[in-house]
Structure 1
Amino acid sequence: MTDACPPPNPKHYDRHDTISYAPYPRSIPLARRRVAQLAVDWGHPDAAGDLAILASELCTNALLHGCLRDRLFRVETSLTGTALRVAVTDPRGERLPDSRPSHPDDQFGRGLLIVRMLASRWAVEQLVVGKTVWAELDLLRGGERG
């Protein structure tokens, strides 16, 4: 985790969207497209691609490591005056994200590295049931990416 800090108070969001998805691979592109479209709709098209990648990686991790059969996972997208955030909540709080070394031939294992490289900050919040993994992209004045 990098730069762990508490999530913003929902009352301080300029925009906020929440949707739950079934724990199936087809949910990942749906979430990715929704998050990208929200970034565009909220006036930050330059951040849409990176936010979509973050959502894709966090959703993939939730699907592979955090979901239980017949339990939905939730994707929350929010905009504050200074950042775009994507947060993914799944029901398996005992399975925390952990970076591991990957080899060039590995098909998996680079998701958190991608999150770490793209996000301005990211963290994990343990919940009573489950966990939320979130990542933020800083925005400069005028809406450009920081």
Structure 2
Amino acid sequence: MACAPQDPRISDPNDPIVHESRVDYFPSPISVTRARQHAARLLAEWGHPALADDTALIVSELATNAVRHGHVPGRLFRVYLTLTKTRLRITVTDPRGERLPRPRHPSPDDRHGRGLLIVHVLAARWGVWERTVGKDIWAELDLAAPPPDH
């Protein structure tokens, strides 16, 4: 019997939050670049530089979707990064709840449509949570287990 995934918006008392960041962005291509750079920099500052590239790529793909498919004039999108002792959670929130993402299977000639496939490959888990207004698209990366003490 499979367990339902834990709602990523709820903290686990056995896995407390160590660091978190929340930044709102205007829905434009330059914001995707800024979000990606901010995420990579934070991961290095938080002591996990090995996760910086995957984190930046996931943020880039989810933020691009927020700009392309979740944009509502006059509304921002938000990028949350939450680091616990065991995982990094990346959440991108946009105002278009009626447009839920679906992985596509693009042909080799398609110029777009691979973002969620990339997220699926890189993340240990990912999903979508509908909000009263908008949606959260989240992905989690597991932290490497610390080496045993010698």
- Does 2:145 align with 1:141? yes
Give yes or no for contact 1:4–1:122 (8 Å, CA) kept in 2: no
**CA distance in structure 2 between the partners assigned to 1:142 and 1:54 by the alignment:** 24
Query: Counterpart amino acid of 1:111?
Result: G
Offset of residue 5 of structure 1? 2.9
Query: Counterpart amino acid of 1:38?
Result: L
**CA distance in structure 1 between the partners assigned to 2:6 and 2:131 by the alignment:** 15
Q: Alpha-carbon deviations, 1:23-76, whole Å to 9, x = none?
A: 111100100000011111000000000000000000011111111111000000
Root-mean-square deviation (CA), in Å?
1.6
| Aligned partner of residue 14 in structure 1, secondary structure | strand
1:100 is aligned, of 104, 108, 113, to: 104
Name 2:129's counterpart in structure 1: 125
2:11 is aligned, of 9, 12, 15, to: 9
Query: Counterpart amino acid of 2:117?
Result: L
Greater relative contact order, per chain length (Cα 8 Å cut-off, separation 6+): 1
| Aligned partner of residue 65 in structure 2, secondary structure | helix
1:110 is aligned, of 111, 114, 118, to: 114
**CA distance in structure 2 between the partners assigned to 1:94 and 1:62 by the alignment:** 13
**CA distance in structure 2 between the partners assigned to 1:23 and 1:130 by the alignment:** 14
**CA distance in structure 2 between the partners assigned to 1:131 and 1:37 by the alignment:** 26
| Match runs of 1:57-96 below 5 Å | 57-96=61-100
| Aligned partner of residue 66 in structure 2, secondary structure | helix
Name 2:40's counterpart in structure 1: 36
Offset of residue 142 of structure 1? 2.8
Give yes or no for contact 1:4–1:123 (8 Å, CA) kept in 2: no
**CA distance in structure 1 between the partners assigned to 2:145 and 2:120 by the alignment:** 23
Rg bigger for which structure?
Answer: 2
**CA distance in structure 1 between the partners assigned to 2:6 and 2:110 by the alignment:** 32
Unaligned 5+ runs, structure 2:
none
Change over 3 Å in CA distance of 1:4–1:110 after alignment to 2: farther
TM-score normalized by the length of structure 1: 0.92
Unaligned 5+ runs, structure 1:
none
